[in-house]
């Protein structure tokens, strides 16, 4: 026996031992769930803590020169994870998913420590935080790219929906735990926003290195450098263009007519087209285009992309709605609104926590289609209800709608993710999970740009006249009132997002100081700005919610078109000697004798790699 065959035999024996170990799968699930929870907490904790962070580094984020710092602190983490997850998933397939996952845990923890010891102020402090956040996002990309594949490797096919559902619960719960933590820790000391991840990161990193083992199949291949480079350049350019498109340009409220933004977006799309051509020519492509021949994989990813488009900007819209209008109208100081916005959005988390594990468990038996499709229909119905809700709503109805949309998201997320992962061959799970995460993360960034743009479009129609008339009625000089009314609405939105008093920020102390005390007190009172902006804001909300309804309905159609219960036949995963079979096994058919089977063969011709058949079975429709 050669040294190479001996290593393969030992690896096969280890995989078999771990698969038969009833405890290992739960170790893998708990560690990857901790990793996902930590990353998602960090992705949202900044939203609420931004006022404290900018106050700590002594920088006003609402000044035109500083808006870029604000945007990149919010979106930089998302952009880098969207760009890297496919490449790092592919690297995990080649060199070991656990090895790459462990490295990601370590990277994330190191940069959490570096973020927590920031000492700089002003622009230098903002740039330092942005760079550290981007590098922290690299660690997050390692975790995201390989966690789903590790879970899929560790669990049998009839338990993957439950396992991925639990992991999804951690992801969405982390997003809202981050909001509350940011509101609690930020006012104490903004450094604590980053310190909170450090002990969990250290524990998770050590635990992962000690306990996690690779149970998947490694596929030796060369790295697709040209594919990686063109994909990164194209996607970064596109997402940067979207990010800067939100900002005002010249005399316009937004930057979509900015030549630089247009060049970035069109250039990014052109480079991505080149990337797609490259992937059809190289021997070992990074982006496995043939995977789209699998209907369950394609439909699941299209549904995921549209779902992220429909709800990716939802959190920002709801935070602005609560912080800028509803909470001040109900007696909350602007400075305290960030914390309470996170608390009042908890029904969304509760709905998701209730629905995701149950739908994941049931999808193991009945398939992903009924639950994922139903989840998107419920989400669309929830956005319709939001359309009917007045801006100054009764919280009971707002909470019920949040609960409903959380349940819809939970019904969709776990089965859809399990359906995508079950459709993949074992040696493609890392790159497949990375491709899926890329669609989701890129769509989230795009959704934020679309939601903000639609909201600004609605505000710009009536906000200037409302602002001008309201300010003049309180004795503000016409020149100052005209100047404030002519400002792009994005400044008002960012002020509300940060928990600042928008009128106080827009007028400044000099104008307010020259007014009679009564008028100045009225202008800066809790209720004045919300009453002023309520009408224009509702106009903008209608545009955003109609877009979300359309996206969710199309996602429901895509989810329905996935077919019945698909999964890669386990008999094709490993032979008795731990190697992949060279000939397609017979398709597995589940259900009654009238069941039909759909078999899709994906043959990848690569040097020194055995052709891998992808067998996908479908249960009869129920």
pLDDT at 224: 86
Residue 404 has pLDDT above 90, yes or no: yes
- Taking Cα atoms as reference points, which of 45, 47, 539, 533 lies closest to residue 324? 533
Give the chain's mean pLDDT. Answer: 83
pLDDT at 509: 84
- Taking Cα atoms as reference points, which of 528, 549, 542 lies closest to residue 457? 542
pLDDT at 5: 61
Helix 259-279 vs helix 225-245: crossing angle, to nearest 10? 150
Instruction: Give, in degrees to the nearest 5, the angle at Cα 573 between 568 and 577.
Output: 165
Q: Which residues have C-beta within 8 Å of that of residue 73, sequence separation ≥ 6?
A: 46, 50, 53, 126, 129, 130, 133
What digits encode the pLDDT tens for the residues 449-462?
888 888 888 888 88
pLDDT at 448: 86
What is the pLDDT confidence band of residue 266, given thresholds at 50, 70 and 90? very high
**Which two tokens mark 80?**
């880098």
Cα–Cα dist 433/38, whole Å: 19
What digits encode the pLDDT tens for the residues 311-339?
888 888 888 899 888 998 898 887 788 78
pLDDT at 167: 86
pLDDT at 164: 83
Cα pseudo-dihedral 530, 535, 536, 538, rounded to 10: 100
Q: Which conformational region is residue 508 in: left (phi greater than 0), alpha (psi within -120 to 50 degrees), or beta?
A: left
Residue 393 has pLDDT above 70, yes or no: yes
Computed over its alpha carbons, how large is the radius of gyration of the chain? 25
Range of weakest confidence among 12-16, 43-47, 360-364, 516-520: 12-16
Q: What is the pTM of this model?
A: 0.80
pLDDT at 12: 60
pLDDT at 289: 84
More confident residue, 590 or 564: 564
**Which two tokens mark 532?**
């002023």
Distances (CA, A) of 252 to 3, 485, 492: 67, 13, 15
What digits encode the pLDDT tens for the residues 157-194?
888 888 887 887 788 778 878 888 888 898 889 999 99
- Strands 616-618 and 566-568 come out as antiparallel
pLDDT at 136: 94
What is the pLDDT confidence band of residue 528, given thresholds at 50, 70 and 90? confident
pLDDT at 126: 94
Q: Domains in the chain, ordered, with CATH? A: 19-223+286-458+537-560 (1.20.1250.20), 569-622 (no CATH)
pLDDT at 254: 86
What DSSP character marks residue 425?
-
What digits encode the pLDDT tens for the residues 95-136?
888 999 999 999 999 999 999 999 999 999 999 999 999 999
Q: Looking at residues 592-617, what average pLDDT do you find?
A: 36
What is the pLDDT confidence band of residue 569, given thresholds at 50, 70 and 90? low
Q: Which residues have C-beta within 8 Å of that of residue 136, sequence separation ≥ 6?
A: 42, 77, 107, 108, 111, 112, 115
Residue 584 has pLDDT above 70, yes or no: no
Cα–Cα dist 501/160, whole Å: 48
More confident residue, 63 or 343: 343
pLDDT at 567: 66
């Amino acid at each position: 026996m050669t040294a190479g065959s001996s290593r393969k035999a030992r690896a096969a024996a280890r995989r078999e031992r771990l698969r038969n170990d009833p405890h290992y799968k739960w170790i893998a699930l708990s560690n990857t769930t901790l990793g996902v929870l930590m990353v998602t907490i960090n992705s949202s904790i900044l939203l609420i803590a931004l006022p404290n962070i900018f106050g700590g580094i002594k920088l006003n984020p609402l000044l035109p020169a500083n808006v870029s710092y604000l945007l990149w602190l919010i979106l930089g983490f998302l952009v880098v994870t969207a760009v890297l997850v496919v490449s790092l998933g592919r690297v995990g397939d080649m060199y070991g998913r656990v090895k790459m996952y462990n490295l990601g845990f370590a990277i994330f923890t190191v940069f959490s420590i570096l973020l927590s010891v920031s000492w700089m102020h002003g622009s230098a402090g903002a740039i330092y935080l942005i760079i550290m956040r981007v590098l922290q996002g690299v660690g997050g990309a390692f975790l995201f790219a390989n966690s789903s594949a590790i879970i899929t490797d560790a669990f049998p096919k009839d338990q993957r929906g439950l396992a991925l559902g639990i992991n999804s619960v951690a992801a969405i719960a982390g997003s809202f735990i981050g909001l509350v933590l940011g509101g609690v820790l930020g006012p104490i000391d903004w450094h604590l926003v980053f310190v909170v991840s450090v002990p969990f990161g250290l524990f998770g990193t050590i635990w992962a290195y000690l306990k996690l083992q690779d149970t998947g199949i490694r596929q030796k291949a060369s790295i697709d450098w040209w594919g990686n480079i063109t994909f990164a350049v194209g996607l970064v350019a596109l997402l940067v263009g979207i990010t800067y498109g939100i900002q005002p340009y010249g005399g316009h409220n937004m930057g979509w007519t900015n030549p630089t933004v247009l060049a970035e977006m069109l250039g990014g799309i052109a480079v991505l087209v080149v990337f797609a051509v490259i992937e059809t020519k190289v021997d070992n492509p990074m982006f496995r285009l043939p995977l789209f021949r699998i209907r369950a994989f394609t439909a699941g990813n299209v549904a995921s992309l549209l779902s992220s488009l429909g709800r990716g900007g939802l959190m920002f819209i709801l935070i602005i709605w609560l912080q800028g209008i509803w909470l001040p109208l109900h007696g909350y100081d602007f400075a305290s609104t960030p914390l309470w916005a996170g608390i009042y959005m908890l029904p969304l988390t509760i709905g998701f926590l209730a629905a995701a594990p149950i739908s994941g468990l049931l999808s193991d038996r009945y398939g992903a289609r009924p639950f994922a499709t139903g989840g998107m229909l419920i989400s669309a119905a929830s956005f319709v209800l939001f359309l009917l809700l007045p801006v100054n709503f009764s919280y009971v109805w707002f909470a019920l709608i949040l609960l409903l949309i959380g349940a819809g998201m939970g019904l969709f997320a776990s089965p859809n993710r399990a359906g995508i992962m079950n459709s993949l061959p074992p040696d493609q799970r890392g790159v497949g999970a990375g491709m899926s995460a890329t669609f989701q993360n890129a769509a989230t960034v795009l959704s934020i740009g679309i939601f903000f743009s639609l909201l600004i479009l609605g505000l710009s129609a009536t906000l200037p006249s409302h602002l001008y008339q309201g300010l003049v009625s309180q004795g503000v000089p016409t020149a100052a009132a005209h100047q404030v009314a002519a400002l792009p609405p994005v400044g008002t939105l960012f002020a509300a997002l940060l928990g600042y008093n928008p009128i106080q920020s827009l007028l400044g102390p000099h104008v307010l100081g020259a007014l009679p005390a009564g008028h100045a007190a009225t202008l800066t009172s809790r209720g004045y700005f919300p009453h002023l902006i309520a009408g224009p804001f509702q106009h903008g909300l209608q545009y955003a919610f109609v877009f979300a309804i359309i996206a969710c309905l199309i996602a429901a159609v895509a989810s329905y078109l996935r077919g019945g219960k698909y999964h890669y036949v386990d008999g094709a995963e490993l032979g008795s000697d731990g190697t992949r079979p060279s000939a397609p096994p017979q398709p597995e058919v589940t259900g009654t004798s009238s069941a039909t089977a759909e078999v899709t063969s994906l043959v990848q011709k690569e040097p020194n790699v055995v052709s891998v058949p992808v067998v996908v079975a479908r249960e009869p429709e129920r």
